[in-house]
Amino acid sequence: MSGSLQDQLLKAGLADADKAKKMAKQKRKETRVARKSRVDVVDENKEAARKAMADKVQRDRELNQALNSKAERKAINAQIKQLIETNKLAKGRGDVGFNFTDGKKVKKVYVNAMEHKQLSAGVLSIVKQGDQHEIVPRQVADKIAERDESRVIAQSVNEDVVLTQEEEDWYKDHQIPDDLMW
């Protein structure tokens, strides 16, 4: 199939020779007028193609951003899983129940007395791994919270430190004698 599209349409009988001449004459006239008036002729087909290309680039950019965010979430979940697996304490070996809330549900995990004190004091925390709840040290829970706060379920704040700072502010003008015995 050699020749222009116009020639092919003429040979196939789908176009008129007179119409083809009129169209060519019209196009020449438009280009001549545009040249004389120094006005750029806007080619609608080129504009439509340019717009379609810009839309495609925008769609591709959005798709890549969605894929990157999905891959980033997957990497963060893998990091959290690794942190939990390497630092979790064995659970279910205690006889003291520790109650905590997971959303609107109250859950219970059995720990020994020492772990119960540590959970209450904020030394240990409870984190969520899938449908399971694991006990990890507070530093690990802080690292998990940096990545995804919703995974840290129960983390006590040591209130003694806050009270001590408030008390120090309250009594800052009063000196305590060194030889005071309680």
Split the chain (182 residues) into runs of 10 and give each run's mean pLDDT.
76 82 87 76 80 95 95 92 89 82 86 87 88 89 89 69 54 67 57
**Predicted local distance difference test score (pLDDT) of residue 53:** 95
**Predicted local distance difference test score (pLDDT) of residue 177:** 67
Query: What is the rounded CA–CA span in Å between residue 48 and residue 41?
Result: 14
Nearest to 90 by CA among 40, 147, 134: 134
The residues spanned by each domain of the chain are 49-172
**Predicted local distance difference test score (pLDDT) of residue 109:** 86
Phi-psi region of 103 (alpha: psi -120 to 50; beta: other; left: phi over 0): left
CA distances from 46 to 55, 60, 61 (A): 14, 21, 22
Q: Tell me the pTM.
A: 0.55
**Predicted local distance difference test score (pLDDT) of residue 148:** 87
DSSP string, 55-108: HHHHHHHHHHHHHHHHHHHHHHHHHHHHHHHHHPPP-S--SEEEEEEETTEEEE
**Predicted local distance difference test score (pLDDT) of residue 60:** 95
**Predicted local distance difference test score (pLDDT) of residue 166:** 59
**Predicted local distance difference test score (pLDDT) of residue 168:** 58
